[in-house]
Amino acid sequence: MSKPDDSKGNVPGRTLLSQNVVFGIALLLALSAAASFLVPGFVSYTNIRSMLLLAAFLGIASLGQTQCALLGGIDMSIPYVIGSSNILLASLLNWGVPSFPACLIVLAGGVVVGILNGLLSFRLQGQALIVTFGLGLAIVGGSQIVTSIGSVYAGTVLGAVPSWLRGMSSVAGTTFGLPIPPIAIVWIALAIVVVTVMSKTPFGRSFYAVGGNRQAASRVLISEFRIWVIAYAISGAMSAITGMALLGFSGGGFVGVGEPYLFTTVAAVVIGGTSLLGGWGGYGSTIVGTLVLTILTSLLVGLGLSYAMQQAVFGLLIVPIVALYTRSPSLRDQI
């Protein structure tokens, strides 16, 4: 395992006081200070709520990517599951399916896609990127075929969105009277559960064991197959939830709504300090990466940079961060 337990009871992947998280927090504070100085209204009440909302979408989508990365895998189907879930939910609502059963159907579909990703990528070891990308394309293509029946607009589904779903993902949404969008509360609750389970339970530690040393994990009777499939099932579920939440945010279904998450979920994981080689990091550090990307995006938009320029900046940011992280002996030993 990359980060063994010590005599004080620290667990693998615990990142609250790690060098990577400290660096991420420092970067977060530096970006916040720069944005406050350069962008008028950056610290306004409305902008902070907007950033929190956008961070929630990215944070939920990145949860599954983190679980896969801890095993040394990657899920490239995330943007396609998000887009498919978005238009499928809109279509189910248009077909008269009640909102809660419709959401459960879409969530179940995301889990099934995740399980398929896990099964195929496990059997074809080392091909997770290609397998998940190919399955994602197949899913999004099939979704467009199904939802375009009787419509001339393939990939776009318009219709009434339930008020509770709109309120869940609205910038103006409140939670128990507090001026916090409900989806942000959902994200915070998920984060608390995931960080606790991953750091405090044998199940959570199994991810680090498999990602750190598969042979050692098998010798202590940890099923690599089971953990691998569970990680991708979680990723599929989180992608489906993100797609449904984005429907409430936009008010209409659009298959391309997940496209920005192809790069940003991986970027959030890497910037947070989780190793894509497996066995090191965790969702706590991904949260830091998510906030860094959200604030950086707000800064770049405030400066008037185009989407393409924003992507270029993200890429340039990742290179030195990865170079810094790989100075850690535990990560160099994996390469």
Q: How confident is the model over 111-139, as pLDDT tens digits? A: 999 999 999 988 887 688 889 999 999 99
Read off the pLDDT band of 153 (50, 70, 90): low
Q: Does the structure show a pLDDT above 80 at 42?
A: yes
The predicted structure's pLDDT at residue 100:
93
Q: Does a structural domain hold residue 12?
A: no
Q: How far is Cα 316 from Cα 321, in angstroms, rounded to an integer?
A: 9
- Residue 335 resides in a domain: no
Query: 207 lies in a domain?
Result: yes
Residue 93 identity: L
- Total-model pTM: 0.86
Strands (E), 45-161: 156-157
The span from the CA of 318 to the CA of 127, in Å, is 23
Q: Is-contact 211 70, C-beta < 8 A? A: yes
- What CATH number does residue 234 fall under? 1.10.3470
Asked, for residue 51, whether it belongs to a domain, the answer is yes
pLDDT in tens, 50-73: 899 999 999 999 999 999 999 988
**Contacts for 317 with CB less than 8 Å, ≥ 6 apart:** 267, 271, 296
Helix axes 202-212, 45-70, angle to 10 degrees: 60
Q: Would you say residue 281 lies in a domain? A: yes
Average pLDDT of span 320-325: 65
Please give the pLDDT value at position 179: 79
Domain assignment present for 169? yes
In a domain? residue 309: yes
Q: How far is CA 31 from CA 160, 246, 294, in A?
A: 39, 26, 10
Place of tokens 């959200």: 294
> Residue-wise over 26-61: b if at least 16 C-beta within 10 A, else e?
ebbeebbeebeeebeebeeeebebebbbbbbbbbbb
Q: How far is Cα of residue 165 from the mean position of the Cα atoms in its chain?
A: 20
Q: What pLDDT does residue 228 have?
A: 93
Residue 269 lies in a domain: yes
Domain tally for the chain?
A: 1
Find the domain containing 301 and state its range: 19-328
